[in-house]
Chain A
């Protein structure tokens, strides 16, 4: 298994430009998460999906941020327009899912991250 695949690994852009980050979760995983990591705020949950449906987007900082999951094997996180304060590492993670009556932990597998720099 190739694990969770994110692209691009690095992105440098200018303020005001649109940024699209991509994620391919592990095949068979039903939950997908987007996180943002900065020194000051640590690892923040932005949004998560179950079975391609957004469940909680309360962590999305502003309307400039949007996320989609058109199918089970692909998700995007878009920032439009981008600002310097959006500079961070963005991680995508997937997990097998969250059955209603579960036993065991919801173990996440993370991608390598996308480092975004907005000038």
Chain B
């Protein structure tokens, strides 16, 4: 089972860069790494994917080292609206999410 591990919670002040790291110890060779964001009373929403090195889109950056045993989601200059739960699910067909990382952005 492709299980991932991430911190339960993080706090950050507005305007700071936030990095959330996930461990992917059982990642399969062909699996891509994905991250999702969930706001209260909504379903999770896909935000970024990658296989190796660095990927950047309008929302976040994703850093994946060569051994692919971990990944880091980077949110630049967070605002209050970035307060959410962030997930790095494991698996490709059987996609498992877990408890995620609850990010609280403080004014």
Q: How many A-B residue pairs lie within 8 Å, measured between CB atoms? A: 66
* A111 CB within 8 Å of chain B: yes
Give bound CA distance, A42 to B16, whole Å: 27
Which of A43-51, A63-71, A72-80 is the contact stretch?
A43-51
A45 touches B93 (CB 8 A): no
Q: How far is the CA of A56 from the CA of B95 in the complex (A)?
A: 11
Is chain B's interface secondary structure helix, strand, loop, or mixed overall? loop
Contact A42 B95 (CB under 8 A): no
* Contact call B94/A48, Cβ cutoff below 8 A: yes
**Does the CB pair A98–B92 fall under 8 Å?**
yes
A70 to B49, CA, bound (A): 32
Q: Is the CB of A43 within 8 A of B93?
A: no
Question: Smallest Cβ distance from B32 to chain A, in angstroms?
Answer: 4
| Distance in angstroms between the alpha carbons of A113 and B43 in the assembled complex | 6
Chain A interface, DSSP helix/strand/loop, else mixed: strand
CB of A55 closer than 8 Å to a CB of B? yes
Whether A112 sits at the interface, judged by CB under 8 Å, is yes
Q: Using Cβ atoms and an 8 Å threshold, which residues of chain A touch B44?
A: 43, 91, 93, 108, 110
With A43-B99, A111-B43 given, name 12 new contacts (CB 8 A). Answer: A42-B100, A43-B100, A48-B95, A50-B93, A56-B93, A91-B43, A104-B49, A105-B32, A108-B44, A108-B46, A110-B44, A110-B45
Binding site for B on A (CB under 8 A): 4, 31, 33, 35, 41-45, 48, 50, 55-56, 91, 93, 95, 98, 102, 104-113
